[in-house]
Amino acid sequence: MSELPIAAELIAADNDRRASAHAADYEALGARLARAGVSIETLTQRVGAFGVAIPSWGVGTGGTRFARFPGRGEPRGIFEKLDDCAVIQQLGRATPTVSLHIPWDAADPTELRAKAAALGLGFDAMNSNTFQDQPGQPLSYRFGSLSHTDPAVRAQAVAHNLECVEIGRAIGSKALTVWIGDGSNFPGQSHFRRAFERYLAAMAEIYAGLPDDWSLYVEHKMFEPAFYSTVIQDWGTNYLAVTALGPKAKCLVDLGHHAPNTNIEMIVSRLIQFGRLGGFHFNDSKYGDDDLDTGSVDPFRLFLVFNELVDAETADPAFRPAHMIDQSHNVTDPIESLIRSADEIRRAYAKALLVDRAALDAAQDANDALLASETLKAAFRLDVDPILAEARRRAGGAIDPIAAYRASGYRDKVAAQRPAAQASGGGIV
Q: Which stretch binds Mn ion (CB under 5 A): 96-104, 304-312, 320-328, 332-340?
A: 320-328
DSSP 396: T
DSSP 127: E
Query: CB 166 → Mn ion: shortest distance, Å?
Result: 22
Backbone angles phi, psi at 105, to 5 degrees: -110, 20
Q: Which stretch binds Mn ion (CB under 5 A): 7-15, 281-289, 347-355, 414-422?
A: 281-289
DSSP 293: P
Partners of residue 99 on adjacent β-strands: 55
DSSP states of 49-92? T---BEEGGGGS----SS-----TT---SHHHHHHHHHHHHHHH
Q: Which CB, 73 or 334, lies closer to Mn ion?
A: 334
The number of residues making up the chain comes to 429
Query: CB 308 → Mn ion: shortest distance, Å?
Result: 19
Partners of residue 183 on adjacent β-strands: 230
The verdict on 281 binding Mn ion (CB under 5 A) reads yes
Binding mask 400-429 for Mn ion (x = CB under 5 A): -----------------------------x
Q: Which CB, 177 or 184, lies closer to Mn ion?
A: 177
Query: CB 67 → Mn ion: shortest distance, Å?
Result: 21
Q: Which CB, 58 or 397, lies closer to Mn ion?
A: 58
The two beta strands, 229-230 and 183-184, are antiparallel
Query: CB 386 → Mn ion: shortest distance, Å?
Result: 32
Q: Which CB, 253 or 350, lies closer to Mn ion?
A: 253
Whole-angstrom Cα distance, residue 104 to residue 310? 34
The verdict on 254 binding Mn ion (CB under 5 A) reads yes
Three-state secondary structure call for residue 121 = coil
Whole-angstrom Cα distance, residue 174 to residue 79? 21
Query: CB 200 → Mn ion: shortest distance, Å?
Result: 21
Q: Which CB, 48 or 55, lies closer to Mn ion?
A: 55
Query: CB 327 → Mn ion: shortest distance, Å?
Result: 9
Query: CB 66 → Mn ion: shortest distance, Å?
Result: 21
Q: Which CB, 83 or 344, lies closer to Mn ion?
A: 344
Which H helix or E strand runs over 97? strand 97-99
Query: CB 16 → Mn ion: shortest distance, Å?
Result: 39
Q: Which CB, 203 or 255, lies closer to Mn ion?
A: 255
The verdict on 326 binding Mn ion (CB under 5 A) reads yes
Q: Which CB, 281 or 301, lies closer to Mn ion?
A: 281
Whole-angstrom Cα distance, residue 86 to residue 188? 48
Which H helix or E strand runs over 249? strand 249-254
Whole-angstrom Cα distance, residue 90 to residue 95? 9
Q: Which stretch binds Mn ion (CB under 5 A): 76-84, 118-126, 252-260, 349-357?
A: 252-260
List contacts with Mn ion (CB under 5 A): 254, 281, 326, 429
